[in-house]
Amino acid sequence: MGIIKLILQLNPYILLGCALGIIIFLVFYLLSKLQKIKLLNDNISQLYRELQELDNQAKLIIQSDMELKLYQEDVEDKLKKLTLLRTLISSSISILDEEELFSKIDEELINNLGFKKSLLILYPTKETKLNINFTSSQIEGFKDLITHSFELIKTSSVTSYKTFVHKEELKESLGEIVNQDFLLAPIRMGKNIYGIFILANCILPRGVTAAEEEIFYIICMYLGQCLDNIKLFESLYKASEELESKVKEKTFQLKKSLDEIKAISKLKSEFISGVSHELRTPLTSIKGFSSLLVAEKFGTLPEEAKERLKKIDTNVDKLVNMVNTLLDISRIESKKVEIKITPTNIVKIIKDVKDFFMPQVNSKNINLVLNTPNYLDVYADNNLIERVFINIINNAIKFTPQGGTITVGCTPKDTHALISVSDTGCGMTKVDCEKIFQEFYRADNALNKKVQGTGLGLSLVKKIIDTHGENIWVESELNKGTTFYFTLKLVK
């Protein structure tokens, strides 16, 4: 109260001044507060804008992150499908049975492809080859659909359910399957349609895309290829079975014929051996007496009788020679001769045979040339190979005209020695060359008719070389000469 009284007692001008001062202070105070409020509002607006900006950035982050994740999922899905395809191919590429091939199309594979159901309807029989999770009424629906739209399905690689849903005429056949997303594709076997493969009820979140259609198309193509292979294999197998049975039949016939030939050959050998043996005893006796008679050991004979006896003696010699050769062949064939194949110096045998034939060679004025190294060891039966040389060189002397040349050669070649006996005689035709080693075969030429022989010598030679497991052959040209070749294994 005292202060109020004091104020009232003051000059009214002072009072007015004080009031004005207070008012001015309050105005300034208010202004400063308003300034602060404005500043705070600005700050709030700034923060709000920043928050909005951050929220906008969050939008960008989520959108980019989602796109990246979708892209990654897509890549992973494609990779997964490629792996699936690789697994399917690797597990079925060598399958050659239809049932086994389709056993690979199981529920797991269909799920991994992104579908729940699958169906394979054969064409044109419309049998159900494969069914995963379809009901019988749904199967009938697809069969109807295939009947109505076969031309469309046949010409397309993959047909999607979208193709059918708007077709009024198919509404009835689609029936239960109308609400399912499915893919249809033909499996081609050669030029024909084997069946229609169906995938349905896509379980992928993004639904059926071009990737699913593409992989389905590849699988259908692959199955068609496998079916082609199976068909090819089956026809090849059938052909090979037929061939095998024919070969078996022919082999049996040949074996039978061979057995018969062997039996006949054995009989022949036994017969020849028996007859030859039986002939040799009286022949020895005949030869003995004929020789004694020709030598006039039983007294002088009239010239005419002596002449006839000489012919008898010569022919007995031939007969004895023939019987001996026949006996040798027969012994070799029946393996009665003991063959001793040992390391032998072939050059020494050749030289011994040359010495043996020198009187004959000289008398016929033939040049017998040896073209051999000093020493060459081969595996051979000494006596039998000597016989080979005697027979071949004897033949050569017979067919080589006076002044001609006989060359005996011997050269090592890889693991074998190649031995040759060439002459400059009349030669043979190709037909003769092929038959020359047959028993009793004699080449049909004028000279041969003059030259005496049994036709058994070369047959014996062939049998001896065969016994050694080696080869013998002849090369000849008419009027130029003949060369006999044979091989013997070299001693290492």
Nearest to 404 by CA among 344, 482, 312, 309: 482
Query: Cβ of residue 108: shortest distance to another protein, in angstroms?
Result: 9
Residues 184, 208: Cα–Cα separation, whole Å: 12
Query: Cβ of residue 97: shortest distance to another protein, in angstroms?
Result: 24
Site for another protein, residues 286 to 345, rule: CB under 8 A: none
Residue 16 within binding range of another protein, rule CB under 8 A: no
Residue 206 within binding range of another protein, rule CB under 8 A: yes
Query: Cβ of residue 205: shortest distance to another protein, in angstroms?
Result: 5
Closer CB to another protein, residue 203 or residue 243?
203
Closer CB to another protein, residue 56 or residue 363?
56
Residues 247, 253: Cα–Cα separation, whole Å: 10
HSE-up (13 A, CA, CB side) for residue 217: 14
Residues 6, 8: Cα–Cα separation, whole Å: 5
Closer CB to another protein, residue 66 or residue 295?
66
Angle at 425 between CA 419 and CA 430, to 5 degrees: 75
Nearest to 354 by CA among 404, 408, 401, 399: 408
Closer CB to another protein, residue 162 or residue 308?
162
Closer CB to another protein, residue 66 or residue 447?
66
Dihedral in degrees, nearest 10, Cα atoms 357, 360, 365, 371: -10
- Residue of 16, 203, 369, 431 interacting with another protein (CB under 8 A): 203
**Do 199 and 118 contact (CB within 8 A), yes or no?**
yes
Site string for another protein, 34-63 (x = CB under 8 A): -----------------x--xx--xx-xxx
Residues 260, 266: Cα–Cα separation, whole Å: 10
Site for another protein, residues 59 to 98, rule: CB under 8 A: 59, 61-63, 65-67, 69-70, 72-73, 76
- Residue of 116, 143, 154, 280 interacting with another protein (CB under 8 A): 116
Query: Cβ of residue 74: shortest distance to another protein, in angstroms?
Result: 10
- Residue of 12, 205, 299, 302 interacting with another protein (CB under 8 A): 205
Residues 358, 366: Cα–Cα separation, whole Å: 9
Closer CB to another protein, residue 26 or residue 66?
66
Closer CB to another protein, residue 50 or residue 242?
50
- Residue of 41, 45, 111, 245 interacting with another protein (CB under 8 A): 111
Closer CB to another protein, residue 116 or residue 287?
116
* Residue 365 falls in which region: left (phi positive, over 0), alpha (psi -120 to 50) or beta: left
User: What one-character-per-residue DSSP string does 252-304 give?
Assistant: HHHHHHHHHHHHHHHHHHHHHHHHHHHHHHHHHHHHHHHHHHHTTTT----HH
Which residues are near another protein by CB under 8 A? 51, 54-55, 58-59, 61-63, 65-67, 69-70, 72-73, 76, 107, 111, 116, 203, 205-207
